[in-house]
Amino acid sequence: MSTSQSLVTTLKGTNVELDFHKIKKNLKDFLSAQDQFVDYNFEASGISILLDVLAYNTQMNAMTAHLALNELFLDSAQARPNVVSLAKQLGYLTRSVGSATATINLTVVPPFSYTSTSLTIPADIMFSGGGLSWYTASTYTTTKNGNGNFYFSNVILREGRRKVVRYYYDVRRSYPKFEIPDRDVDTSTIKVRVKETEKSTIYTTYRPFTYFSAIDDTTPVYFMEENALGLYEVYFTGGDIGISPSEGNIIEIEYIYSNGAAANGISVFKTDYIFTKAGESQIVRATASATGGRDKESADSIRFNAPYYFEAQNRCVSFNDYAAVIRREIPQVESINVWGGESNVPAEFGRVYIAIKPAGGLVIDNALKQYIINSVLRPKAVATISPRIIDAEYTYIGLDIESRYNPANTTNSSQAIADIIKNATIAFSNKYLNVFEGPFRYSKFLAAIDNSEVSIENTIARVYLIKKIFAYANQENEFFLTVPTEFYDFDADDAIIRSSIFRLNNISHYLIDQKDETDPNRRQLVLMFISTEGDQVVQDVDVGYIDLIGKIVYIYGFRPDTDTTISIYVNPKSYDIVPIRNQIISVDPNEVTVSVLSDYIETNIYPGTVRANATPRNITKFERG
């Protein structure tokens, strides 16, 4: 065979090709340099069939090598079982489905014949809500109140269904593993009990392995991991570390399997359970919608978390350690931020601050905070450092969006485009905001709007910040609000912040700011009222101030007529809003206005002759609210 170039030179790309046709083309290129067989270009020829076999074989080998190598590393593995297996080598246990919790106040009105003065709600009483099952998380007891009712406050319900699986411990298998047959198990609810024989009534309760120093050779401890099928397995040490079940023992694994994130937001619950006697009536009120439900950890999340967890080594030393440990132990966490007390305002040395946003909710409840500090962090934290969990502080973004569109490029009406823009705004918020360290990038936002509909030519959006406060009636209210960006203009003659209207002494009032002539770094807050004639009059000049340097709004000393939510609108200096520490930014859909106009340039026959009516960047007077 006469060749003008070597096989290696011609086929040098073949080994890295993964595409069948490219491999075959490389082989044809090689054959083009010889004259022994020239029919390779005809698909029906024998040499072409041989090339197919060669190319197929090469492609299979290349793909196998490519996939095998990629699946060997945590960064590049795609198949979830492989990601889980690689994370296992780092000592990382994947996060299971997290069941949502809801807090309710329950009033039980017993029939007259029920004479007991105290009532206990057992754990695991089933409630229903949103088509799902909920269980009381623990036991609650109360006494009869003055009305003859039993009132239980802050009863915690957990979503899911309880299940028990039983296994026979067979010593013939070395290190047997006991599979939990539900993929949706919440591993934080798993309880492992072992009894001697089928007829025994005495159980030994095993506890999950945490770290070696916590166990000795008499500690009943179990281990857990996720297997290749995505199911969790419980296994024991075989007697090497802690105690292990022995031949013939019965292992009971009790757990809750739940619907994860689907249960978030449910707020109506009821139960058929009779707490006292037939004839009783019940009033169930949720104090907040259900939160904390999370789906099983994704491969992407495992890829991100496992190295941090390994770095933390089950100890809380650096900021990342705290985040990694809490993320692993608490499935309800959607977003977390940790910073040292020295970075806090005001600085507080010897502390670590942790802000947590739960899935499907805004803040986590106090019971969970206590659990995280006492059971999750304290055993792993440096002794002299005291962790403190604080709630996320939300700053909402309001938007006045004005888009120009070319009607020739779309069949959508301007109203339909406005709806599309509003949905794109909400989608942008869900994708980039609503988490700690999730900044609002103005140009990215405009690009998202411009790309939301094909006919949109350009967009202008004015950005406002909104702080929401809940003021109680008939008491002095005090608020300390931090704003994630500088205020629009320190020396503005007009207001740079303004509140929504609330009723005070049966008259409409609002808050507004004005220059403080004595201090250039402050602006004074003023309480205004709107008279029956519509005049806006200063009522009080001593209701708070704005700290322009510290980016703080301090409000004190006003009493609305009723409990009311008041929005404080802020005109920011920059349209890029960057949250820090416990701040979270979110777009409030109720504060988004959209106007869509046909574009002047595209719709005018002689666009170069008349000046376009462009949208002003800033309005002359800040009157939002």
How many residues line the site for other proteins (CB under 8 A)? 19
Q: How far is the CB of 63 from other proteins (least distance, A)?
A: 13
The two most distant CA atoms of the chain are separated, in Å, by 108
Q: Where are the alpha helices (DSSP H) in 491-612?
A: 600-603
Neighbours of 25 (CB within 10 A): 16
CA distances, 605 to each of 176, 599, 610 (Å): 81, 12, 10
Do β-strands 132-136 and 118-121 pair in parallel, antiparallel, or remain unpaired? unpaired
User: Which is nearer to other proteins, 44 or 68 (by Cβ)?
Assistant: 44
Q: How far is the CB of 37 from other proteins (least distance, A)?
A: 5
Q: How far is the CB of 411 from other proteins (least distance, A)?
A: 37
- HSE (CB half, 13 Å, CA atoms) of 75? 1
User: Which is nearer to other proteins, 45 or 318 (by Cβ)?
Assistant: 45
User: Which is nearer to other proteins, 21 or 431 (by Cβ)?
Assistant: 21
User: Which is nearer to other proteins, 32 or 314 (by Cβ)?
Assistant: 32
Site string for other proteins, 1-20 (x = CB under 8 A): -------------------x
Site string for other proteins, 24-63 (x = CB under 8 A): -----------xxxxx-xxxxxxx-xx-x--xx-------
The helix (H) or strand (E) run that includes residue 322 is helix 319-329
Q: How far is the CB of 16 from other proteins (least distance, A)?
A: 18
User: Which is nearer to other proteins, 56 or 211 (by Cβ)?
Assistant: 56
Q: Where are the alpha helices (DSSP H) in 267-315?
A: 299-312
Q: In angstroms, rounded to a whole number, what is the distance separating the alpha carbons of residues 523 and 500? A: 19
SS3 content of the chain, % helix, strand, coil (to 5): 20, 35, 40
Q: How far is the CB of 22 from other proteins (least distance, A)?
A: 11
User: Which is nearer to other proteins, 41 or 343 (by Cβ)?
Assistant: 41
Q: How far is the CB of 33 from other proteins (least distance, A)?
A: 13
Q: How far is the CB of 486 from other proteins (least distance, A)?
A: 55
Q: In angstroms, rounded to a whole number, what is the distance separating the alpha carbons of residues 440 and 443? A: 9
Query: Should residue 164 be labelled a site residue for other proteins when binding is judged by CB under 8 A?
Result: no
Structure tokens, 502: 């609330």
Structure tokens, 471: 């003021």
User: Which is nearer to other proteins, 38 or 347 (by Cβ)?
Assistant: 38
Q: In angstroms, rounded to a whole number, what is the distance separating the alpha carbons of residues 390 and 121? A: 31
Q: Where are the alpha helices (DSSP H) in 473-611?
A: 600-603
Q: How far is the CB of 6 from other proteins (least distance, A)?
A: 21
Nearest by Cα to 550 from 493, 487, 489, 478: 487
CA distances, 366 to each of 292, 339, 371, 412, 451 (Å): 13, 20, 9, 49, 43
User: Which is nearer to other proteins, 20 or 479 (by Cβ)?
Assistant: 20
User: Which is nearer to other proteins, 39 or 198 (by Cβ)?
Assistant: 39
User: Which is nearer to other proteins, 48 or 567 (by Cβ)?
Assistant: 48
Q: In angstroms, rounded to a whole number, what is the distance separating the alpha carbons of residues 121 and 141? A: 6
Q: How far is the CB of 41 from other proteins (least distance, A)?
A: 6
| Residues 307/327, Cβ–Cβ less than 8 Å | no
Q: Which of 21, 66, 378, 431 binds other proteins (CB under 8 A)?
A: 21
Q: In angstroms, rounded to a whole number, what is the distance separating the alpha carbons of residues 523 and 490? A: 8
Nearest by Cα to 245 from 165, 168, 163: 168
Nearest by Cα to 582 from 260, 339, 404, 418: 339
Q: How far is the CB of 5 from other proteins (least distance, A)?
A: 17
Q: How far is the CB of 156 from other proteins (least distance, A)?
A: 59
User: Which is nearer to other proteins, 54 or 373 (by Cβ)?
Assistant: 54
Site string for other proteins, 464-503 (x = CB under 8 A): ----------------------------------------
- The residues that touch other proteins, with contacts defined as CB under 8 A, are 20-21, 35-39, 41-47, 49-50, 52, 55-56
